[in-house]
């Protein structure tokens, strides 16, 4: 067994590998860019080596620097994680030449299966079901349009070295094919250093189901059941689960055997994933093989009891797989939410900055798990992927897993940046998701105009009103115990209050009676009684308690005179006051926001890649204005209406802050 390994990655996955290595008694080496000098993986590793500036192409993608770090530290093996160089055949080959083990498949397997075009040819030879398409690299956007016309729209334009939704577009017409090709090439070049792109038919109403495979150097292979990754937004996975609610035992066996046949065809050693697109009739077609550990590997670990990182290390060290196909378990149901640094209420734009508070839910072995690479006080950078944590739960049934995920999302405290939690909480409550009747188009179909706060259901408003009254009384009673101590002038706190829920469309008034009881407060609201008991302390973000004996968890944030409650993804803002004060509040004039319609503002921090218009140019609604790159993704900004450009305030190459002016219109 290795004595020391280097992790050629960052963030959550680097921390994940370090955790298993430590369990196995293996020393670890972290590599980091200048932007990551204070990152969690650097702190957790036994040694750390700086490998260059923030940009990936100058640090995490530079093979020479990682190989030099191996020589400097004496690392015997390298775990590549996912992304960066994890599916780069040359990197694997060079490590082997240097006498350093690559904790992953051999370079020839990476070359054959990591290349989406080559892997599809091999799949055909191995008699694996494949999708019709053009399997050769495409020279330019005009050729892409011609090929797309020949296959028939819609088509999927995909980077050969792509993964994680990077370098992928779906085109429904010639214009989208032309633009999509250019965007895919740019993203692929920046993210993977490989700008080859190919095109295949896009299967309508598909499910994305993948099979986890393992192989060793002795010719042993197993498949570890399937993962359903159909809940996606812009081709990036949002929620993953194992097993799939769509797959039956016969289908699982057929897909698993095809996945193993493909792995066997290239003498695959290590963990890998064979991805399939599945139609409504349960027909399935090979998409690609990921020759690395997947982001969503924890759901497989929870239903099988297997540590995939450990098996990758053991196989790389020359050991046999410790289990046969008959010994593979399928125990209960697991689900994962990718907690991303993005604002679901602003079109999922990247959200960067400092984590003022970061308090994940308590981990419970076999029930709740949190994989993360960040910490409270750390900074979320614009240079890397938006995922900051993975929240994984396990239950005996799918229904129990969903309920457990809802509770865990309630208890996940993040402040300082926006996160995807409200959106994922809404998905957990969506009837269609709960029924298991969905496909990769689910989010686009259910949220065609985007996502806003009104789409976060909350079926217990009385709980929110009662807790708002509790929190206000707790602060008020504390104040009364500190001030008003002069005899005969003590402050008397009333039991009658008006709880005002603040809405843009108009405030709601709720009259309550809130009086202290042992361990909490008794609230009377609309003729009903609610006993709220909790050991919550003033200023704490997490509020754990019971309402009439039923346990609940929500989050509380005090913002001057307002109290914001977070529960099941809903953000509810309250003010608590006397009935007379509520009457006066209703008379206060509304302050209207300034008119910014004549400006194109940067919706996120990022790098301005292109300004597509000039001063004096007339622009039609829908035309491209600019392209901003943030968190390894290109974002195209388009005109909302017909207009004329008065001034261009930023140029390509500028680093933009949120709401920075890019273009002014007449």
122, 261: one domain: yes
Radius of gyration of the chain (CA): 27
CATH of the domain at 287: 3.30.470.20
SS3 of 462, please? helix
DSSP 130: B
> CATH number, domain at 172?
3.30.1490.20
Domain limit, last residue, from 289, 316, 331: 331
Distance CA 375, CA 378 (A): 5
Crossing angle between the packed helical segments 297-304 and 308-316, to the nearest 10 degrees: 100
In this predicted structure, what is the pLDDT of residue 369?
A: 98
Instruction: Pinpoint the alpha helices (H) of 152-197.
Output: 174-192
CATH number at residue 645: 2.40.50.100
Please identify, among 201, 216, 235, the residue that sits at the C-terminal boundary of a domain.
Answer: 201
487: in domain: no
With respect to residue 67, please indicate whether it lies within any of the assigned structural domains. Answer: yes
Q: Is 121 a residue whose pLDDT tops 70?
A: yes
In tens, the pLDDT along 60-82 reads 999 999 999 999 999 999 999 99
Q: How many domains does the chain have?
A: 6
Residue 398 shares a structural domain with residue 508:
no
Residues ≥6 apart with Cβ < 8 Å to 210: 226, 227, 229, 273, 274, 275, 276, 294
* pLDDT band with cut points at 50, 70 and 90 for residue 382: confident
186 domain-assigned: yes
Secondary structure (3-state) at 405: helix
Domain membership of residue 456 (yes or no) is no
Q: Please report whether residue 570 resides in a domain.
A: yes
Whether 124 and 240 share a structural domain? yes
Q: Is 163 left (phi over 0), alpha (psi -120 to 50) or beta?
A: left
Q: Does residue 614 sit in the same domain as residue 581?
A: no
Return the closest-CA partner of residue 136 out of 116, 108, 153. Answer: 116
Q: What is the pTM of this model?
A: 0.84
Handedness of CA 120, 122, 123, 124 (dihedral sign): positive
Whether residue 356 is found in the same domain as residue 300: no
Q: Which of 557, 356, 384 is nearest to 468 (CA)?
A: 557
Query: How far are the Cα atoms of 344, 368, 401, 517 from residue 405, in angstroms, in the given order?
Result: 18, 8, 6, 32
Residue 118 shares a structural domain with residue 262: yes
654 in a structural domain: yes
Kindly name the residue from 288, 296, 629, 634 that is annotated as catalytic: 288
156 & 114 share domain: no
373: its two tokens = 């690479």
Tens digit of pLDDT for each residue in 472-528? 999 999 988 887 677 777 778 999 999 999 987 788 999 999 999 999 999 999 999
Residues 116 and 99 in one domain: no
Does residue 592 lie in a domain region? no
Question: Quick check: helix, strand or coil at residue 359?
Answer: strand
pLDDT tens digits, 15-64: 999 999 999 999 999 999 999 999 999 999 999 999 999 999 999 999 99
Helix (H) or strand (E) holding 567: strand 562-567
* Local confidence band at 357 (pLDDT 50, 70, 90 cut-offs): very high
Single residue among 183, 201, 219 that ends a domain in this structure: 201
125/33 same-domain check: no
Distance CA 115, CA 105 (A): 13
Check whether residue 407 and residue 338 sit in a common domain.
Answer: yes
Do 603 and 519 lie in a common domain?
no
Q: Is 288 a catalytic residue?
A: yes
Does 593 fall in a domain?
A: no
The reply to whether 264 and 344 lie within a common domain is no
**Residue 137 domain boundaries:** 132-201
């Amino acid at each position: 067994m290795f004595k020391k390994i280097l992790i050629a990655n960052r963030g959550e996955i680097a921390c994940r590998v370090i955790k298993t290595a430590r369990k196995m008694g293996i020393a670890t080496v972290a590599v980091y860019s200048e932007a990551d000098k204070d990152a969690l993986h650097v702190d957790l590793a036994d040694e750390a080596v700086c490998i260059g500036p923030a940009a990936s192409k100058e640090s995490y993608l530079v093979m020479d620097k990682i190989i030099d770090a191996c020589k400097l530290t004496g690392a015997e093996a390298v775990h590549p994680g996912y992304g960066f160089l994890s599916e780069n055949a040359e990197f694997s080959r060079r490590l082997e030449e240097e006498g350093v083990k690559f904790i992953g498949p051999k370079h020839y397997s990476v070359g054959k299966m990591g290349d989406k075009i080559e892997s599809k040819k091999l799949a055909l030879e191995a008699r694996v079901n494949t999708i019709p398409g053009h399997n050769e690299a495409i020279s330019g956007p005009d050729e892409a349009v011609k090929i797309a016309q020949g296959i028939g729209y819609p088509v999927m334009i995909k980077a050969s070295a792509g993964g994680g939704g990077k370098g992928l577009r779906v085109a429904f017409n010639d214009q989208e094919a032309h633009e999509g090709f250019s965007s895919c090439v740019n993203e692929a070049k920046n993210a993977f250093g490989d700008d080859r792109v190919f095109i295949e038919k896009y299967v309508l109403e598909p499910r994305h189901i993948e099979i986890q495979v393992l192989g060793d150097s002795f010719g042993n292979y197993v498949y570890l059941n399937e993962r359903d990754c159909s809940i996606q937004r812009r081709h990036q996975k949002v929620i993953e689960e194992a097993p799939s609610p769509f797959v039956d035992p016969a289908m699982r066996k057929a897909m698993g055997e095809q996945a193993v046949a493909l792995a066997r065809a290239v003498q695959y050693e290590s963990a890998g994933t064979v991805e399939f697109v599945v139609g409504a009739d349960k027909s399935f077609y090979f998409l690609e093989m990921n020759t690395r550990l997947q982001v969503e590997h924890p759901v497989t670990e929870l239903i099988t009891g297997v540590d995939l990182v450990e098996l990758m290390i053991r196989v790389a060290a020359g050991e046999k797989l410790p289990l046969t196909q008959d010994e593979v378990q399928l125990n209960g149901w697991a689900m994962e939410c990718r907690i991303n640094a993005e604002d679901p209420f602003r079109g999922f734009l990247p959200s960067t900055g400092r984590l003022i508070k970061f308090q994940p839910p308590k981990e419970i072995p076999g029930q709740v798990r949190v994989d993360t690479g960040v910490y409270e006080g750390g900074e979320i950078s614009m240079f890397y992927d938006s995922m900051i944590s993975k929240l994984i739960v396990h239950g005996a049934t799918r229904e129990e897993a969903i309920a457990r995920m809802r509770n865990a999302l309630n208890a996940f405290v993040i402040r300082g940046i926006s996160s995807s939690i409200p959106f994922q909480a809404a998905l957990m409550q969506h009837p269609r998701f709960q029924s298991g009747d969905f496909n990769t188009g689910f989010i686009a179909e259910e949220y065609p105009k985007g996502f806003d706060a009104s789409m976060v259901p909350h079926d217990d408003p009385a709980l929110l009103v009662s807790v708002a009254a509790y929190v206000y009384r707790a602060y008020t009673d504390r104040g009364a115990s500190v001030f008003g101590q002069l005899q005969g002038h003590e402050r008397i706190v009333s039991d009658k209050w008006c709880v005002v829920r603040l809405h843009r469309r108009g405030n709601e008034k709720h009259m309550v009676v809130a009086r202290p009881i042992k361990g909490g407060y008794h609230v009377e609201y609309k003729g009903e009684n609610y006993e709220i008991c909790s050991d919550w302390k003033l200023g704490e973000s997490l509020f754990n308690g019971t309402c009439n004996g039923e346990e609940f968890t929500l989050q509380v944030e005090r913002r001057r005179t307002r109290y914001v409650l977070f529960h099941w993804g809903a953000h509810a803002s309250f003010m608590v006051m006397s009935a007379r004060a509520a009457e006066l509040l209703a008379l206060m004039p509304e302050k209207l926001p300034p008119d910014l319609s004549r400006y194109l503002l940067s919706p996120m921090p990022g790098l301005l890649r292109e300004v597509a218009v000039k001063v004096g140019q007339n622009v039609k609604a829908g035309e491209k204005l600019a392209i901003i790159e943030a968190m390894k993704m290109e974002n195209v900004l388009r005109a909302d209406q017909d207009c004329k450009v008065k001034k261009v305030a930023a140029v390509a190459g500028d680093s933009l802050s949120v709401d920075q002016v890019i273009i002014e219109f007449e």
